[in-house]
Amino acid sequence: METFIDRLRIVRERIAAAAQRAHRDPATIRLVGVTKAQPVEAIRTALDAGLCEIGENRVQEAEAKMTALEAERYRLTWHLIGHLQTNKAKKAATLFDMVHSVDSLRLAQAINRYAAEVRRDPGRRLPILLQVNVSGEATKSGFDLYGWETQPDVYERFCADVEQILALPHLDVRGLMTIAPWAPDPEAARPVFRATRRLRDALAQRFPIAPWRDLSMGMTDDFEVAIEEGATIVRIGRAIFGER
């Protein structure tokens, strides 16, 4: 029977192979283990195996797990990867080390306000990623960037929001996050990941004040394509932890 260690090793090997195909250093790609609906023991198993970056979709579920794992807090990096409602912004700013799913100016402003109030180290800004929807899929959250390369008004509207977000003093904008529509063939996700990378590159030229070094994209079904297209963070649950 395949063990957790086996699954984690296979995923790491697949990450390395995809990076090599793209002439990239596998060490530049961060693996976030997604533990939605997984028990606390699964996170302990991950820690014992050297997987210390954990992604959670829901603030309430994450808070319960963080409480149970308080003694291990120094070993863990917690990522919020799911949709965040503005009324949960204070909790998110308190609990997480990085928020991937900032999908509106209003949400960014709320997180910034609460980060100023609750962060233990007031001099350390909260790392965030801007979630973008370049596919136009209605079920996906994110800034609406569908057609941004051919519709200048779409891009300019986003840039106006980005300019205001970059001015928020308690947030550290690191890059972009996206979720590709599911398809049986992972290659179907390639245009989405490629468009997101090009968007990141355009933003890096326009707003050099921010590093824009992170692209959080790719999950169990498509992470290899995402890496080939420039992902620096992949969010993988099922391939590591098994079915929920």
Query: Would you write out the chain's pLDDT as a tens digit for each of its 244 residues?
Result: 789 999 999 999 999 999 999 999 999 999 999 999 999 999 999 999 999 999 999 999 999 999 999 999 999 999 999 999 999 999 999 999 999 999 999 999 999 999 988 765 667 899 999 999 999 998 889 999 999 999 999 999 999 999 999 999 999 999 999 999 999 999 999 999 999 999 999 999 999 999 999 999 999 999 999 999 999 999 999 999 987 6
Task: Tell me the pTM.
Answer: 0.96
71-90: burial string, b at 16+ Cβ within 10 Å, e else: eeeeebebbbbbebeeebbb
Q: Looking at residue 128, what is its pLDDT?
A: 98
The two structure tokens encoding residue 182: 């599911």
Q: Looking at residue 119, what is its pLDDT?
A: 65
Contacts of 141 (CB under 8 A, 6+ apart): 83, 101, 103, 131, 133, 179
Domains of the chain: 4-241 (3.20.20.10)
Q: Give the model confidence (pLDDT) of 75-128 as tens digits.
A: 999 999 999 999 999 999 999 999 999 999 999 999 999 998 876 566 789 999
Q: CB–CB of 78/56 below 8 Å?
A: yes
Q: Looking at residue 151, what is its pLDDT?
A: 95
The three-class DSSP label of residue 206 is helix
Q: Looking at residue 144, what is its pLDDT?
A: 97
Beta-strand runs (E) in 44-91: 53-56, 77-80
